[in-house]
Amino acid sequence: MMTPLEKIYKGPILSPSSRQEFFNILSLPKGSPLQKAVPEGIPVADKLGKLEAGRCNSGLVFLKKHPYIICVMTTYLKSEADGKATIQKIGQAAFSYFDRLERSSQHSRLVAEK
């Protein structure tokens, strides 16, 4: 999922208007683990997936200077809730890193508070 998302985001696969519509649709609120992993107001264009005992969530988080693509897949789950919680925890860790990067200078100095 990461490669197709990257190609759509960066490449000439879709026209600019189709690309915007694609990400608008994927950004609709759905209460997904990746959407819950970031603060309100930060768009996340994501797609959920599931099979028996497995959950996944792939998406693009639209930070201004450092948008990033994340794909989390789980398997051998005891419950669906375990998969959602794991995806959200990993999403929060990724957001924490990219949020610090977003607010830092090229010399690793934090230059902006939240």
pLDDT of residue 1: 79
CA distance linking residue 67 with residue 28, whole number of Å: 17
Just give the CATH number of 2-102. 3.40.710.10
CA atoms within 13 A on the CB side of 58: 10
Confirm whether pTM is higher than 0.85.
Answer: yes
Q: What is the pLDDT of residue 96?
A: 96
| Separation CA 80–CA 101 (nearest Å) | 32
The pLDDT tens digits along the chain (114 residues) read 789 999 999 988 999 999 999 999 999 999 999 999 999 999 999 999 999 999 999 999 999 999 999 999 999 999 999 999 999 999 999 999 999 999 888 887 877 776
Q: What is the pLDDT of residue 12?
A: 84
